[in-house]
Structures are given as structure tokens and as C-alpha cells.
């Protein structure tokens, strides 16, 4: 099977059709139209077997996560997703795998109203690179910079679930409660990109980032680019019952919540005067959010409190996910 | 070294700065502005060690080729290149390699006035996925479809050099003339994307494609999407002196010119009434082009003539590059 037939059979025509796509899969490049008065937002993420997902992960789960992590990056900018470009590297052509994979791509494209407009298929180790494109009006862009002394720090959803889910899959964490175990594993395999939350936070959040490398590492990106300090109240961190009730200690739950990656929740900062707008907007969509701390004036300083007492994490624990 | 530091040190700030980039490397996604009344053009290509380039290829050559093959896809649409997103997978952090690689990326970004706006660095086999974005006015898009019965078929540059260059590197072809050898190898390692030719052909060419998988395979994409036939006069194919004078036979030169991939020349079709415009425009930029045949009404039929006699290629030879 050549590349042309492969793309024809598994990807062309299966994807949700958007009116702003002039030319999708099938030419040398795709042609699309960015709406007037909107900026183009582009992000690229690569997922590699044994690095970003375990060997044996199902094709549907791989497709799900590849799309989710990229849409999460768009969400963190306040962008509306529109188009995907997928480069798929695989050791051989496995028809069952490709069917399951491309079915999930099609399902998510329809759910998020995005269109797969192009890509590449090559022979190599199992690896996926997705470029997601979307748009946002210039004055509504959410950046990592922009946090100000006194702004409140919030996160969507709950923290640490995905890290615990990965440890369950690796046999490093045993949880007897079947429902809790499945919940945590699912949070690792199928993180929900906070697309709606991102667009709701336009003109409300002063800074925003998605949590991919662990809370402490990612919050440092906010303080570094915003030139501020950060104070986190660890007792406020939203911990799911599945995680909180099933690990040995509060310390262990906090370690997951602060340092394990792959949560793909949004962390954002909100000035006092925007708090009410933020609450009204997120509540109206039933989006879960929790205030976990405050931006401080002490540039570069990270203060961790537990019940108003300074809390010490080992420097190793503080490290977060390392790419190399 | 973590991903953040790596990108900071080798890629951020080194790239040519464009005024239409609102937010480049360093946030969750890049933000850019597509000019009014222009369409966005997007392409993604992956290059993998041992598949798309030989083990031992220099970092500079890998960077060059990765960018060239993507710009070539934009050129084939008549688009002006603007922004690059690079995903770099490598087994370990090799500082010398990264310096050489990122220097060449910066050099090409400056040469083509494009900006590296984002990407990803991951641990894995040596592999590069580049997404290139550019723009073109809607009424000036060059597609693979659009060729009409009677249109003339042209190619830029010369054909088969890159295939011969690859065979030299693999030890499959011996050429004693040092200058010719170096020319052919260089054509394989550093194909020139025909960006200028692509924009010159706007509103002149009826169809266009870049030659990446071999002339016969790529010309079939034109005839399939345009629902036409193709007649090629093999004696008209532009063969460089380096190739023509140094292989054993005309047959061998024609085999390279018709079936070996990686030429990255443009193949385009021109209606009789646009021939003069095409010649004037391409001549004014000293762009080399050659008429190699004509579009016919016999949908799906490929006629090959050599000195007006039917020429038979083995079906194996006709096959071209296979991705799997």
C-alpha cells in the first residue's frame, strides 16, 4: 500500500468538513481561511511510544491523547480550534490499528468541529506529531505573561489524577477500588482539553497555561514570563476523591498534584476585579475551578503553604517532568 | 538540560523576526496574523533517519532538507512561505549537533524570510517533522487539479540528479568526475525549493505539483485529480550534464529522471494562451524551465515517447518511491 492509498482509505473524507477549508487532504498543502479580525494560533506536539504513552496503549487512546494535548495548548491561549495536520510514523501498515486510530480521529474532529486537513505517513518508530491550528481575536489572547501581583491563581478540574493513572498502569501504584482505578487510568489516557474554559477566560484571565509537565514546573513559566512570585496553598489543591481516598498519605496525593504531568487542566490568574465575571462565566457552563493561591511581588519566588505553614518539597520532587 | 532550556538556547531569538508574528516560541502556542485577503497554506512533512536521509548525514544537511521539502510543498501551491513549526525527536542532547542544526535553520529562515514560531523537542529516534505555513490569494492558488486537454507540461530545473546523488552516497553509482559527483550529491542533500517559480506561476499555470516521489508517480497525481491523460516526450527531459555525461546509457539517465524521487522541482501545466506570459515571467527571473509534454484527453492514460516512438519502462521502474 502506498502513502497515497493509505491516506485516501483511512483519513480523507472521514474528517468533519469545515466551510473554511478550501483545500483539505490531497494536494501538496492545505488551504484554509482564517476569519477576519482573528489571529492564527498554531501549536505542535509529538507523542512517542514508550516516552509519552506506554507500549500496548490502544490506537484509540493514542489518537485521543495526541489530539487532546494539542487542543489543550490552543485552549491555554483562549483559542477556538479549527484544523489539524497529522504526521504518523509507524513501523508497518496495520489495518486494524489504522481503522481504530482513524475512527477516533474522526470522532474527535466531529466533537470539536475541527477538520484534519493534511499530514504525512512515514515508516519509523510509532510516533505522532500533530499541528493544531485555531484562532482568537488579538485582544483576547491568553498568554503566560500578564500575571500581576495580587492576582488570584486558579486551576480547572482536579490535579494529579493522570500521574496516578500512569503509575497504576506501570504497576507502581495499587488501588483496589475498581471504579477509582478506572477513573484515574482514564484521566491519564483521555485527558479532556479545556477548550471551552479557555474561550470563557478571554479578557478575564491575566495569564494562562495548560498543565502538562506538573503544577510546580508549569506555574514557574507563569512567574518567569510575568516576572512575579507565586504563593500556592497546597491544602486548597483540588484532589479527586479517587486519588485522595486511595493513596497512603496526603503527602503522596500532594506529590501527584504538584509534580506529575499530563493533567492538561488550565492554570490561570485572575485580577480581583475580574473574579465575579470569571465565576459567573465558568459557573454558567458548569466548569469546575478552584482558587489555589495568589500571585506575589517577589519575582521568581515560589512559596508553598500547607494550612498556612511553609511546606517543603524535596528538590527532586520539585523537578517535574524532564524531556531529556 | 530540560526542554525549555534547550529551546531557549538553540532556537529562540535565533530565528528571523517577522512583523506578523505576535507571539513566537515560548508560550503554549504561537500567534500570527495572516494578511487580509490571503488564504493560509499549511503543509507537514516528516524526515526520518535511514528512511529520508542516510545515517551520518550532517546536522546542517538534515536541517536544510527538512526546510526545503516543506517550502517546496508551499511553492507548489503558489504560496509565499511565512512560519515554521519544528518537532525534533533525537536520542540524546548533542550540543555540537544542535548548534550546527539550529545555525542552518536560522540561516534558511533569514534567506527565505520565514520565522520559526514553535515546536517540540522529544526523546526518540532521529526524526524531524516540520509544519510550514504561508499564504496565497484565493484566486491565485495552484492546485494539482485544473490541467486541461492540450495544456503544455513543464518542469523547472533538471531531473534525476538527486536520485543519482543518493546512489553515489550509497555506493551504487560510481562517477569519477569529482565536480559532477559533488554536484549530484549536493542536489540530493540540498534541493532548492522553487519558491520564486511557484509565486511567478500564479494565474498562469493550470495545475502544479512538486516532484518528490519521481516524475511518473507525481505526474499521475496531476492526471488523476485533473481527470486527463499525460503525454511525455522523454527526449525533452532536462538532464544535467553531470548526470547525462556520467551514467552508462541514456536509459539509465532516463530511469533517474523519471522515477527517482527527491528532485523537488515543480511540474506545471500551462494553457497555450498563457505560454508567452509564463516565458516572460520565468525568463525575467532567470528561472530554468523545459517543456516535456502535453496534457491529453485520454483520462488516466500515460504515453511515453522517445524521439516520437513509444517507450517502454518496466512496471517496476514506473513504480517510483514507496513510503511503506
Mean pLDDT of A268-280: 98
Do residues B162 and B136 share a domain?
A: no
What does the pLDDT look like over A99-145, one tens digit per residue? 999 999 999 999 999 999 998 899 999 999 999 999 999 999 999 99
Question: What residue has cell string 496526603?
Answer: A250
**Residues 6+ away with beta carbon under 8 Å from B23:** A141, A143, B29, B30, B31
Instruction: Tell me if B103 is assigned to some domain.
Output: yes
The one-character DSSP state at A205 is -
Do A147 and A115 reside in the same domain of the chain? no
Average pLDDT over residues B226-248: 97
Note whether B14 and B105 are same-domain residues.
yes
End-to-end CA distance of chain B: 35
Of B40, B93, B123, Cβ closest to residue A34: B40
Q: Tell me if B129 and A133 make a contact (CB, 8 A cut-off).
A: no
CATH code of the domain containing B135: 3.30.1330.10
Question: What percent of chain A has pLDDT above 90?
Answer: 89
CA nearest B86: which of B142, B3, B192, B194? B3
- Alpha carbon distance A192, A64 (integer Å): 9
Reference B74, options B195, B187, B189; nearest CA is B195
Does B323 contact A225 at a Cβ distance shorter than 8 Å? no
- Examine the pLDDT at B316 and tell me if it is beyond 60: no
**Whether the predicted pLDDT of B305 surpasses 70:** yes
pLDDT at residue B319, rounded to an integer: 58
B164 and B304 housed in the same domain: yes
Name the percent of chain A in helix, strand, coil, to the closest 5. 35, 25, 35
Q: What is the domain extent for residue B287?
A: 152-318
Let me know if B62 is exposed, middle or buried by CB neighbors in 10 A (0-12, 13-18, 19+).
buried
Q: Is residue B41 part of a domain?
A: yes
Residue B103 counted as an annotated binding residue: no
Task: Identify the CA nearest to B125 among candidates B88, B96, B100, B85.
Answer: B88
Residues A248 and A307 in one domain: yes
Q: Cβ separation of B323 and A23 shorter than 8 Å?
A: no
Same structural domain, B186 and B305: yes
Residue after which a domain boundary falls, among B71, B105, B140: B140
From the list B3, B52, B132, which residue is nearest A323 (CB)? B3
- Among B92, B110, B140, the domain-final residue is B140
**Which element (helix H / strand E) includes B230?**
strand B229-233
Looking at residue A119, its pLDDT comes to 85
What letter does residue B55 receive in the DSSP assignment?
Answer: T
pLDDT tens digits, one per residue of A1-53? 566 677 777 888 777 899 999 999 989 999 999 999 999 999 999 999 998 99
Q: Is the pLDDT of residue B314 over 80?
A: no
B138 contacts on A by Cβ (under 8 Å): 22, 31, 33
Contact B81, B167 (CB under 8 A): no
When CB atoms are compared, the residue of B31, B39, B43 closest to A118 is B43
The pLDDT assigned to A12 comes to 83
Give the annotated binding-site residues of A for ATP: 119-120, 144, 212
Distance of CA B300 to the CA centre of its chain: 24
Residue B145 lies in a domain: no
C-alpha B235/C-alpha B238 separation (Å) is 8
Residue of B nearest to A207 (CA): B27
Give the Å distances, CA to CA, from B145 to A23, A30, A121, B116.
11, 14, 22, 31
The helix (H) or strand (E) run that includes residue A64 is helix A59-76
Instruction: State whether A182 and A306 are in the same domain.
Output: yes
Q: What digits encode the pLDDT tens for the residues A42-75?
A: 999 999 999 899 999 999 999 999 999 999 999 9
For residue B100, how many other CB atoms are within 10 A of its CB?
A: 17
Are A141 and B22 inside 8 Å of each other by CB? yes
Q: So what's the pLDDT on residue B230?
A: 97
CA–CA separation, A295 and A229 (whole Å): 6
Under the banding of pLDDT at 50, 70 and 90, the label for residue B75 is very high
Task: Give one word for A237, left, alpha or beta, with left for phi > 0 and alpha for psi -120 to 50.
Answer: beta
Query: Phi, psi at residue B90, to the nearest 5°?
Result: -145, 150
Chain A residues with beta carbon closer than 8 angstroms to that of B2: 322-324
ipTM of the complex: 0.92
CA distance B276 to chain A (A): 26
Of the candidates A253, A92, A268, A243, which has an alpha carbon nearest to the alpha carbon of residue A179?
A243
Average pLDDT over residues A182-191: 98
Which residues in B lie closer than 8 A to residue A4 (C-beta atoms)? 221
Cβ neighbors of A111 (< 8 A, separation 6 or more) are none
Annotated binding site of A for Mg(2+): 28, 43-45, 73, 120, 210, 213
**One domain, residues A47 and A150:** no
Spatial CB neighbours of B129, under 8 Å, sequence gap ≥ 6: A44, A46, A87, A120, A129, B44, B45, B46, B47, B86, B87, B89
Which residue among A3, A33, A51 sits closest to B40, beta carbon to beta carbon? A33
What is the tally of structural domains in chain A?
A: 2
In a domain, A194, yes or no: yes
pLDDT at B321: 60
Structure confidence by residue, pLDDT tens digits, B165-212: 999 999 999 999 999 999 999 999 999 999 999 999 999 999 999 999
| Residue B45 with chain A: CB contacts under 8 Å | 87, 120
Amino acid at each position: 500500500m502506498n502513502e497515497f492509498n493509505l491516506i485516501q482509505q483511512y483519513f480523507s473524507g472521514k474528517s468533519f468538513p469545515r466551510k473554511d477549508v478550501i483545500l483539505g487532504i490531497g494536494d501538496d498543502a492545505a488551504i484554509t481561511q482564517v476569519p477576519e479580525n482573528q489571529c492564527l494560533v498554531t501549536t505542535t506536539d509529538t507523542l512517542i511510544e514508550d516516552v509519552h504513552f506506554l507500549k500496548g496503549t490502544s490506537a484509540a487512546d493514542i489518537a485521543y491523547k495526541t489530539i487532546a494535548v494539542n487542543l489543550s495548548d490552543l485552549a491555554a491561549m483562549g483559542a477556538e480550534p479549527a484544523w489539524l495536520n497529522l504526521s504518523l510514523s509507524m513501523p508497518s501498515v496495520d489495518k486494524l490499528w489504522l481503522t481504530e486510530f482513524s475512527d477516533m480521529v474522526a470522532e474527535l474532529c466531529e466533537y470539536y468541529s475541527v477538520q484534519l486537513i493534511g499530514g504525512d505517513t512515514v515508516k519509523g518508530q510509532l510516533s505522532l506529531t500533530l499541528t493544531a491550528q485555531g484562532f482568537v481575536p488579538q485582544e483576547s489572547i491568553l498568554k503566560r505573561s500578564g500575571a500581576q501581583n495580587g492576582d488570584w491563581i486558579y486551576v480547572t478540574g482536579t490535579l494529579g489524577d493522570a500521574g496516578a493513572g500512569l503509575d497504576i498502569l506501570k504497576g507502581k501504584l495499587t488501588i483496589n477500588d475498581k471504579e477509582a482505578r478506572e477513573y484515574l487510568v482514564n484521566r491519564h489516557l483521555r485527558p479532556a482539553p479545556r477548550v471551552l474554559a479557555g474561550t470563557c477566560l478571554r479578557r478575564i484571565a491575566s495569564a494562562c497555561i495548560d498543565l502538562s509537565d506538573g503544577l510546580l514546573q508549569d506555574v514557574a513559566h507563569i512567574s518567569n514570563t510575568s516576572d512575579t512570585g507565586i504563593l500556592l496553598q497546597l491544602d486548597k489543591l483540588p484532589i479527586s476523591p479517587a486519588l485522595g481516598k486511595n493513596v497512603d498519605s496526603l503527602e503522596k496525593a500532594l506529590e501527584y498534584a504538584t509534580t506529575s504531568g499530563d493533567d492538561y487542566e488550565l492554570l490561570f490568574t485572575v485580577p480581583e476585579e475580574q473574579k465575579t465575571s470569571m465565576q459567573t462565566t465558568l459557573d454558567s457552563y458548569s466548569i469546575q475551578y478552584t482558587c489555589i493561591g495568589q500571585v506575589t511581588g517577589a519575582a521568581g519566588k515560589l512559596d508553598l503553604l500547607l494550612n498556612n505553614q511553609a511546606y517543603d518539597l524535596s528538590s527532586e520532587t520539585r523537578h517535574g517532568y524532564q524531556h531529556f
